[in-house]
Chain A
Amino acid sequence: MTTLITKTITKICLPLVILFSISLLLAGHNNPGGGFIGGVMFASIISLVYVVFGLRYTTAFFNPDWSRWLASGLALASVTAFAAIPAGHNFFRSAVEFIHLPVIGEIELVSAALFDVGVYFVVIGTLLFILKNVGEDT
């Protein structure tokens, strides 16, 4: 697996795929995509890096604590869910706002998107946490 070709391709792919995963996350409300898909996409490119460069080599310079991602994602999702209650709405009530910006045009802000970001982080955190723990285990 660790031929020069795969290493080079992985290096090139890494930023592109991460950008793609973020765009999947953000596009999710209107096009195919969303937190689950984006999260899995992100997890798969990182796992590709782990496989190609080796876990030990990668963690020497890139070693986030995935359990924190998982926890913060769950916290974010729960907060968005409960945030409607102090505002006097039902649990999980979503808010939609349309904003007109001069150059970009109409932008749609949905509070459910924040929930989706939470899902994104939970999926990334869970999958990579599992993968890293299994991989580190000797």
Chain B
Amino acid sequence: MNNTFLSLTIAILFGIGTFLILRRDIVKVIIGLGILSHAVNVLIVSVGIFDGTRVPILAGSYNEAETTGSVFNDNLAEDILSPVVQAGTHIDYVDPLVQALVLTAIVISLATTAFILILAYRIHEEYGTTDIRELRRLWG
């Protein structure tokens, strides 16, 4: 289950990240972006464990889906998705979709972090400074 401390931690990380991306030093901004992306990843995953208690790896044979756990019965099964989800389906997994989204996001954030780091490095090389205000002055 989700809890308030987790939400509080994520919120604090958001605050720290925000504070850092408002700094004048490019490297600090990049560190801030790193913290923000951690915070966002944890946020997305944390909203996915609303009901579930189990890792989304199915047990059971190929022919039948998992049938143990708490009874999943909601208005979803009566609506447009009724042909897809039968009422009374047993589901107590955490939400796998958010995990899939975050998994790719983690790897991509590595590549993009590398990209902006190199960008900062090249800026430092060309202009000799990492101060954004100074750069703004140099660019005119």
Task: Indicate whether A and B are direct neighbours in the complex (CB within 8 Å).
Answer: yes
A134 to B120, CA, bound (A): 13
B22 within 8 A of A: no
Select the stretch in B4-12, B31-39, B78-86, B106-114 that faces chain A. B106-114
The chain A residue with its CB closest to the CB of B111 is: A126
Number of A-B contacts (CB under 8 A): 20
Give the interface size bracket for B toward A: under 10
Known: A30-B57, A31-B57, A32-B57. A134 touches B118 (CB 8 A): yes
Contact status B118-A36, CB under 8 Å: no
A98 to B61, CA, bound (A): 13
The one of A30, A36, A130 that contacts B104, using a Cβ cutoff of 8 Å: A36
A122 to B95, CA, bound (A): 27
Majority SS of interface residues in chain B? helix
Taking the nearest CB of chain A, how far is it from the CB of B92, in angstroms?
Answer: 19
A123 within 8 A of B: yes
Contact status A123-B57, CB under 8 Å: no
Taking the nearest CB of chain A, how far is it from the CB of B42, in angstroms?
Answer: 18
The residues in B between 89 and 117 inclusive whose CB is less than 8 angstroms from any CB of A are 103-104, 107, 110-111, 114
A127 within 8 A of B: yes
Taking the nearest CB of chain B, how far is it from the CB of A70, in angstroms?
Answer: 11
> Which B residues are CB-close (under 8 A) to A108?
62
A22 within 8 A of B: no
A113 within 8 A of B: no
The chain B residue with its CB closest to the CB of A34 is: B103
The one of B62, B104, B111, B118 that contacts A127, using a Cβ cutoff of 8 Å: B111
Q: What are 20 A-B contacts defined by CB distance under 8 Å?
A: A30-B57, A31-B57, A32-B57, A34-B103, A36-B103, A36-B104, A36-B107, A37-B103, A39-B107, A40-B107, A98-B62, A108-B62, A123-B107, A126-B111, A127-B110, A127-B111, A130-B111, A130-B114, A134-B114, A134-B118
Residues of A within 8 A of B (CB): 30-32, 34, 36-37, 39-40, 98, 108, 123, 126-127, 130, 134
Residues of B within 8 A of A (CB): 57, 62, 103-104, 107, 110-111, 114, 118
